[in-house]
């Protein structure tokens, strides 16, 4: 096992600076060799801020560096598959941000190359590293809820379309809107907690409504507001609904970046024959059970953690030991399959059968 791995961070924006870079710096077994961004100032700013590495603007110039073991791909969705595949073909392991790719065919190709080259390809579905999520998984695995037959997912916001008109709302770059950007985390979390059940049928409708008139869109807050471009493109889903039958529970969901209801709900209900759990997304959970003839409602306490950091640290360990981890493309691709089927179902206005 290597004592220290050398990594490159490709794309030096929000998620790179808030999660990947600090985690690599915190790891005693990782060293950042390159910061790469097509905007040179962003790469140079990282070198100056973190006091390590070399700034580069074209990732292809470092593909052949024999010292480089692994990369984090933190660019927009349109470059995920291209960059990840290039690095795997040059013998490097990859941690690629979510969603795996814009469309299922790109994700399938990424999985194929990962297997063919025997390189690790982890996808940034970081909830798999959340302590809360793992406590819920342990409870369900122990049978505390009985048979979990239905999971209801809600990722609804009032008016928060990110960077309207920019990359987030341009399908050619992002692959989609609220579902692929936000829903991916929720659906992957459900898949993980429920043992990665295979989908059987998917029915969905995706709506592109509230942001279409960009000039007159009224909002309360917007993340990535600095990337908005009111003369840009808006052709993605701002809300979505669907029903997924799996070999495990049936999953139903409602999601929205924006909808005309100011009752935002970001939670997941796991409903079983003996009990239920409501997980407040990014927070804790309430457990509903029956004990000794009484209805019980428990809010367990546990140590919360920084799931992004633990995800990156685990990736670094897996690179050292050459083992695949819990967010390997082989697992994460199920969510890509489901999301593609929701979009296909919406376009055809009919159910997709796997
Ligand atoms: N896991 C999470 O919770 C989470 C949170 C936020 C974003 N993300 C994902 O991370 C990715 C990046 O999002 P962000 O918010 O950090 O975006 P961002 O715009 O802040 O950063 C992306 C950076 O990539 C750079 N870039 C674009 N093309 C490049 C290329 N070919 N080579 C090198 N650099 C390139 C851009 O110049 C930019 O600096 C997206 O896929 C997003 O879905 C994940």
Query: How far is ligand 1, taken at its centre, from the CA of residue 38, in Å?
Result: 11
Tally of CB atoms within 10 A around 254: 16
Beta-ladder partners of 73: 10, 96
Based on the domain organization, do 41 and 178 belong to the same domain?
Answer: no
Query: How far is ligand 1, taken at its centre, from the CA of residue 16, in Å?
Result: 7
Q: What is the rounded distance in angstroms from the CA atom of residue 330 to the CA atom of residue 101?
A: 14
Based on the domain organization, do 96 and 22 belong to the same domain?
Answer: yes
Based on the domain organization, do 156 and 247 belong to the same domain?
Answer: yes
Q: What is the rounded distance in angstroms from the CA atom of residue 330 to the CA atom of residue 33?
A: 28
Q: What is the rounded distance in angstroms from the CA atom of residue 9 to the CA atom of residue 37?
A: 9
Query: How far is ligand 1, taken at its centre, from the CA of residue 181, in Å?
Result: 12
How far CA 172 is from CA of 8, 83, 321, 353, in Å, comes to: 26, 17, 37, 26
Based on the domain organization, do 340 and 200 belong to the same domain?
Answer: yes
Q: What is the rounded distance in angstroms from the CA atom of residue 26 to the CA atom of residue 168?
A: 30
58 in a domain, yes or no? yes
80 in a domain, yes or no? yes
pLDDT single digits (tens) 185-218:
999 999 999 999 999 999 999 999 999 999 999 9
Alpha-helical runs (H) found in 90-153: 104-117, 131-141
Residue 80's nearest CA partner among 28, 37, 123 is 123
Q: What is the pLDDT of residue 318?
A: 97
Burial of 221 (0-12, 13-18, 19+ CB in 10 A): exposed
Based on the domain organization, do 347 and 214 belong to the same domain?
Answer: yes
Based on the domain organization, do 137 and 118 belong to the same domain?
Answer: no
94 in a domain, yes or no? yes
Report the pocket of ligand 1 as residue ranges, CB < 6 Å: 10-16, 36-39, 42, 59, 74-77, 79, 97-98, 124, 126, 181
Domain count, the chain: 2
Based on the domain organization, do 56 and 80 belong to the same domain?
Answer: yes
Structure tokens at 251: 């999953």
Based on the domain organization, do 239 and 135 belong to the same domain?
Answer: yes
Instruction: Please report, for the domain that includes residue 189, its CATH number.
Output: 3.30.360.10
Which helix (H) or strand (E) segment holds residue 10: the answer is: strand 5-10
What values do phi and psi take at 243, rounded to 5? -135, 125
Ligand 1 atom with least separation from CA of 12 = 39
Based on the domain organization, do 165 and 280 belong to the same domain?
Answer: yes
Based on the domain organization, do 152 and 225 belong to the same domain?
Answer: yes
164 in a domain, yes or no? yes
Based on the domain organization, do 110 and 139 belong to the same domain?
Answer: no
pLDDT along the chain (354 residues), means of 10: 95 97 97 98 98 98 98 98 98 98 98 98 98 98 98 95 96 98 98 97 98 93 89 97 98 97 93 98 97 96 95 98 97 97 98 98
| Ligand 1 pocket: which of 75, 83, 176, 236 to mutate (most atoms within 8 A of CB) | 75
Structure tokens at 192: 């993980």
Based on the domain organization, do 268 and 163 belong to the same domain?
Answer: yes
331 in a domain, yes or no? no
How far CA 60 is from CA of 23, 82, 192, 194, in Å, comes to: 24, 11, 34, 39
What values do phi and psi take at 334, rounded to 5? -60, -40
Q: How many CA atoms lie within 13 A of 170 on its CB side?
A: 16
With a CB cutoff of 8 Å and minimum separation 6, the contacts of 165 are 214, 228, 229, 230, 231, 232, 233, 234
Instruction: Please report, for the domain that includes residue 102, its CATH number.
Output: 3.40.50.720
Tally of CB atoms within 10 A around 220: 10
Q: What is the pLDDT of residue 220?
A: 83
Q: Residue 50: give the domain boundaries.
A: 5-126+308-326
Residue 43's nearest CA partner among 27, 30, 54, 28 is 54
Global pTM exceeds 0.95: yes
- The residue with tokens 């809360």 is 132
Q: What is the rounded distance in angstroms from the CA atom of residue 124 to the CA atom of residue 116?
A: 21
167 in a domain, yes or no? yes
Residue nearest to atom 43 of ligand 1 (CA): 98
């Amino acid at each position: 096992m290597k004592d220290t791995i050398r990594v490159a961070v490709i794309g030096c924006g929000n998620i790179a600076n808030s999660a990947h870079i600090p985690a690599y710096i915190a790891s005693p077994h990782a060293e950042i060799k390159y910061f790469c961004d097509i905007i040179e100032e962003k790469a140079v700013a990282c070198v100056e801020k973190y006091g390590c590495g070399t700034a580069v603007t074209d990732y292809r110039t470092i593909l052949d560096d024999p010292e480089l073991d692994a990369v984090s791909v933190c660019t927009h969705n349109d470059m995920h598959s291209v960059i990840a595949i290039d690095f795997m073909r040059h013998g490097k392991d990859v941690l690629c941000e979510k969603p795996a790719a814009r469309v299922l065919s790109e994700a399938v190709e990424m999985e194929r190359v990962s297997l063919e080259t025997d390189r690790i390809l982890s996808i940034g579905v970081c909830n798999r590293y959340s302590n809360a999520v793992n406590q819920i998984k342990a409870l369900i695995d122990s049978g505390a809820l009985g048979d979990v037959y239905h999971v209801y997912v809600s990722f609804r916001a009032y008016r928060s379309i990110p960077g309207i008109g920019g990359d987030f709302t341009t399908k050619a770059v992002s692959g989609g809107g609220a579902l692929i950007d936000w829903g991916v985390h929720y659906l992957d979390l459900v898949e993980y907690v429920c043992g990665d059940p295979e989908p059987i049928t998917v029915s969905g409708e995706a709506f592109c409504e509230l942001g279409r008139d960009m000039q007159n869109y009224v909002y309360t807050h917007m993340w990535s507001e600095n990337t908005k471009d009111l003369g840009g493109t808006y052709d993605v889903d701002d809300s979505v609904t669907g029903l997924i039958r799996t070999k495990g529970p049936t999953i139903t969901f409602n999601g929205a970046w924006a909808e005309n209801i100011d009752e935002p709900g970001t939670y997941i209900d796991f409903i079983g024959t003996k009990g239920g759990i409501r997980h407040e997304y990014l927070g804790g959970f309430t457990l509903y059970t029956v004990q000794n003839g009484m209805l019980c409602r428990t809010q367990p306490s546990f140590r919360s953690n920084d799931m992004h950091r633990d995800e990156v640290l685990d990736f670094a360990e897996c690179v050292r030991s050459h083992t695949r981890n819990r967010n390997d493309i082989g697992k994460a691709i199920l969510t890509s399959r489901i999301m593609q089927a929701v979009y296909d179902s919406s376009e055809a206005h009919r159910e997709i059968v796997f």
